[in-house]
Amino acid sequence: MADIEMSQFLEQWLEDVKSISVDLTPKDQAEITKAGAKVMAERLTDVTNAKHRSHHNDKTYGHAADHISYMAKDVDGETNGSSTVGWDNHYHAMNMMRLNDGYRGHPGDHFVTNLQQDKATSEAVLRAESEKYQELINDKKGDDD
């Protein structure tokens, strides 16, 4: 290894860190959050099935647990680094909101809120995002190590 001054080494290291972590585009950020959104959608599907699966055969809308989706965009459809998880039609979204929050005479069971605040779910989402982040860093960094 060539002799290099500590200050030069640290400056180069800082430049590498900045180029890898700070210069993520909104598209890269959206890829990271999409990995977490996928995990959240899977868990939301599981909890919706467990708590609110009915035997009613609705030929028009189907069951809410079968219509949970995620996208690497915000609620307005813009790619800004965020991702969104939810029901893909208004009918299910409104029904699930009523079940979660409650309405007159029917207390809510807060299944969505509890899932969002669940530590295991948060850790799983962060783990998926971290893995995707590491993958993007390795792709940007290349195989020069």
- Of the ranges 35-44, 49-58, 106-115, 125-134, which one carries the lowest mean pLDDT score? 49-58
Mean pLDDT of the chain: 89
Residue 26 has pLDDT above 60, yes or no: yes
Residue 144 has pLDDT above 60, yes or no: no
CA distance linking residue 122 with residue 33, whole number of Å: 12
Task: Tell me the whole-structure pTM to 2 decimals.
Answer: 0.81
Range list of H helices, 18-118:
26-52, 90-101, 111-117
What is the pLDDT, as a whole number, of residue 139?
80
Distances (CA, A) of 133 to 29, 37, 41: 8, 14, 19
Element (H, E) at 140: helix 119-141
Angle of CA points 50, 54, 55, to nearest 5°: 130
What is the pLDDT, as a whole number, of residue 119?
97
